[in-house]
A and B are shown apart, each in its own frame.
Chain A
Amino acid sequence: MSEKQKKATAYWKENVRYLFILLAIWFVVSFGAGILFKEALDTIKIGGFKLGFWFAQQGSIYVFVILIFVYVRLMNKLDKKYGYNE
């Protein structure tokens, strides 16, 4: 494998690792907190919101936005590290 290819493979591996972590969070806040564990979380109340209901109608969306911006930051750094930034 050439030097160039090695670099590309290493970059791709790190990229995929980020994806796994971020998508795990994506899954936990929506399908986890908003659906599967909604009943259990609803016993906790924050202000007027039952927590499971809040995650389903508000919380998950806020986390989605944050996830994409975290991804943008991580990838910009990664691009720089491997010299793929332009």
Chain B
Amino acid sequence: MSVQTWTYILVGLTFALYIGIAIYSRAGSTKDFYVAGGGVSPLANGMATAADWMSAASFISMAGIISFAGYDGSVYLMGWTGGYVLLALLLAPYLRKFGKFTVPDFIGDRYYSKTARIVAVICALIVSFTYVAGQMRGVGVVFSRFLQVDIDTGVIIGMIIVLFYAVLGGMKGITYTQVAQYCVLIFAFMVPAIFISIQMTGNPIPQLGMGSTLNDGSGIFLLDKLDGLSTELGFNEYTDGSKSVTDVFAITLALMVGTAGLPHVIVRFFTVKKVKDARKSAGLALLLIAILYTTAPAVSVFAKTNLINTVSNEEYSSMPVWFKNWEETGLLSFDDKNEDGKIQYVADKTKNELTIDNDIMVLANPEIANLPAWVIALVAAGGLAAALSTAAGLLLVISASVSHDLVKKVFKPNISDKAELWVARGAATVAVVIAGYFGINPPGFVAAVVALAFGLAAASFFPAIVLGIFYKKMNKEGAISGMVVGIILMLFYMTKFKFGWFGGGTPDDWWFGISPEGFGSIAMIANFIVAIIVLQFTPEPPEDVQEIVENIRIPSGAGEATGH
């Protein structure tokens, strides 16, 4: 059977499964819609969190980015997993004990202020919209390459599927579809990785294969081989980076803290029964994420070595079929500058003839390694699962921010449960349409703004929540001014160095040598400092708020999540 047929079968089957689950687990109340009724088991929540977290970026792009960045790519590996330690130790158990529906709920109640709640809602909306646009685009790319429909049609198909189960099932539908999506995506990621690891090193475990010797009888370690190939072509050694230590440090920290502060990840911990379950499911989530995150750097090494071996100094006319296929999508291009008919892939930009998009490394990897058709099709289904699961989680945050935090808590406190549920569904629908629009007409700044999303979460939510739990005397004046300063500082730095506003600047002008991607860590520190200074000059929080803080520190008696 051809790749195309296999893809139709696998994608069709998985989509049917998601829709089936959605119909089976419809939401009947706002509690079902926001927190899946609050009775999700730690394992199911762990799987759902893992699928929620691992987006098209983790599945499709990350291994590719690492294969071109080498050691520098470690910032994503450590940053996007280390954040879970912060989440498990500093946030999840206490927020579960607090027992409300959303992150702005916590900020609003803990800081006894509508202003704080609204600032939190705005942050949640900016972060989530940025993210969701990227997911829709990912859906479109997978459809266009594997099912030969154009990207726009792909985005629309994706929209309809997400709309169906997010709007119908809310958090309840999303949770159980995410469990299924985790299984699909992890299987789809691991199968090709294991195949290629055996092919190249004879070791079936990719994590070990990465550090093994090559299978060709030379006895050379794979990583040494790749270091050699890279320097030969004029690149840095693969295992050495080109970024400064300060910048690597700052980016890693910003990504970790940003991860812990992302609302769509935090809300997943409101869905379990007890505080104990929240801790356990954070551990399970990271374990399940780590399976992909420790395999990805191995895939990067395999793919990069394979790629160089296949194309470097070879005749263009002798390139395999996949080369032509990917050239058609525009993700791969060859420009024969010295007209010798061979492909020169080198670091020197004036001589380099091959341009490769990061995303190809995972999507084309099975083809480059000549794996069977069903494995190639599986990657398509996996990429879709990763993109759809994250998109659904984000849409839920968006709809809950509107229906619960704005309509119910600010504008119309006496709205009935039924009516609120309909507002939530309406908000989710509008959000899907906006996300789809950005997926079809991607603004050029999407990539830049994704980094901004992490920076924003790091600069706003993380300090406010941590201080809210660990510093009983923290008051609303401190928390609000901290959040506002953090966000504004982050926005200023990003727009200055990414879009050239406020006089722009080059990497030489970076403060402390820190790139915009890493600046979230500085903005976060500024947030903490401002909050603590303002606190010194403003009144203590009221007695009942201090009691709330004492209460969330004790794990027992969590009761059920409630919106009232």
Contact = CB atoms under 8 A, between A and B. Distances in A.
Interface in A51-86: 53-54, 56-58, 60-62, 64-65, 67-69, 71-72, 75-76, 79, 83-86
Contacts of A23: 85, 89
B89 A49 contact: no
A33 to B, nearest CB: 10
Interface in B34-86: 66, 71, 73-74, 77-78, 81-82, 84-85
B22 interface: no
A56 B71 contact: yes
A49 B208 CA distance: 10
B77 A57 contact: yes
A74 B437 CA distance: 48
B89 A19 contact: yes
B74 A47 contact: no
A85 B77 CA distance: 35
Is the contact region of chain A dominated by helix, strand, or loop, or is it mixed?
A: helix
A75 B283 CA distance: 13
Which bracket fits the contact residues of B? 35 or more
A58 B297 contact: yes
24 contacts: A11-B553, A22-B85, A23-B85, A31-B253, A36-B249, A47-B211, A48-B221, A53-B239, A57-B297, A60-B77, A61-B293, A62-B294, A64-B84, A64-B85, A64-B286, A65-B286, A68-B279, A68-B283, A69-B287, A71-B89, A71-B283, A79-B555, A84-B554, A86-B276
Interface of A: 8, 11-12, 15-16, 19, 22-23, 26, 30-31, 34-36, 38, 42, 46-50, 53-54, 56-58, 60-62, 64-65, 67-69, 71-72, 75-76, 79, 83-86
Interface of B: 66, 71, 73-74, 77-78, 81-82, 84-85, 88-90, 93, 207, 210-213, 221-224, 239, 245, 248-249, 252-253, 256, 274, 276, 279-280, 282-283, 286-287, 290, 293-294, 297, 470, 550, 553-557
Given A49-B223, A56-B71, A61-B77, 6 more contacts: A48-B210, A56-B77, A68-B89, A75-B555, A79-B555, A84-B554
